[in-house]
Structures are given as C-alpha cells and as structure tokens.
Amino acid sequence: MGISDLIASFLQEGLEEAKDGVLEVQRSDLAQRFNCVPSQINYVMSTRFSPERGYIVESRRGGNGYIRITRVQVDRQTLMMHVINSLGASVDLASARAILSNLVSAGALDESLGRTFLAAVGDKALASVPRENRDRVRADILKQVLILQV
C-alpha cells in the first residue's frame, strides 16, 4: 500500500467517524504524520476526494492552514445528473472507471450494470475507433447510458 493509499484511508476513516460528515485536518499535521511533503497531501485531495467522487474540499494554506472535507449526500437522480453534466467532451478510460466505480459505491448503479457500462466504454469495445477519437466516443457513450438510468 502506497503513501497516497494510507493517507486516503486515514482520511476516509476520519470521515466515517465524523458525526456531521465533515472532517477538518491540518495539512502540516498530515504531512508530518505520514512523513511526506504537503504536495503529497494535495495530490490525495485532488485524486481521491474530488467532486466527481462525491466530496467538497475546502482548503486554506499557510501556517494555520486546514483542509475541510465534506461528503456530499445527494439522492440518486441528483447524483446521476451531476455526473452527466460534469462529463466533458472526452473521458479517458481511467476517469470512466472511477466515475462508474463511484456510482456503484454510492448505490446509484448496481455492480453488474457498472461492469457492463465499463465494458461498453472500454478500449476493447472501442478498438475499431481510432485512438485519437476514443475518449470523445467514450464520453458520448457514457453520457447516453447514464441518461437512460435517470
């Protein structure tokens, strides 16, 4: 398990223990606890606690800087519409995998359907599409299948 995984797990546990779904931590304390540079904390925040994953992250830098992570609780339809609206003109495979995984984790899609959608937008399914067009086609397919779920 890498340092990013350890930091993310620590923060996730803290969020689960928080009564109100809000966790506030000092960036410097985290960096010191995990013996890493503050930019490593920033990396974890941007990759593991993004809005697409259902989190709002507020941050203040400086000596007394903090990070406040809030788990967003929304109904299924609102979550699906947020994801659809946040999809850009292109989506790479890793992002599609993360989006579908988050929808399954949130209970917005059942696991079997999530795997089916991932197969439909995977590189094997899009093998006949020129590589430079795959991310655009992937985004179009993902938007359409998710719209049908709303």
Report yes or no: 10 and 48 within 8 Å, Cβ to Cβ: no
Residues 51 and 87 in one domain: no
Strands, DSSP E only, in 9-140?
Answer: 22-26, 55-60, 66-71
Domain that holds residue 44: 3-71
Residue that is last in its domain, among 71, 91, 107: 71
Residues 67 and 80 in one domain: no
What pLDDT sits at residue 55?
83
Residues 36 and 95 in one domain: no
What pLDDT sits at residue 71?
83
What pLDDT sits at residue 42?
85
Residue that is last in its domain, among 71, 102, 130: 71
Residues 59 and 84 in one domain: no
Residues 6+ apart with CB under 8 A from 113: 149
pTM higher than 0.85 for the full model?
no
pLDDT digits 0-9 by tens, 66-82: 899 998 777 888 888 88
Residues 6+ apart with CB under 8 A from 48: 4, 8, 11
Residues 66 and 87 in one domain: no
Report yes or no: 96 and 118 within 8 Å, Cβ to Cβ: yes
What pLDDT sits at residue 100?
93
60 forms beta bridges with 66
Residue that is last in its domain, among 53, 71, 89: 71
How does residue 127 score in pLDDT terms, banded at 50, 70 and 90?
very high
Number of domain units in the chain: 2
Mean predicted lDDT score pLDDT of the chain: 90
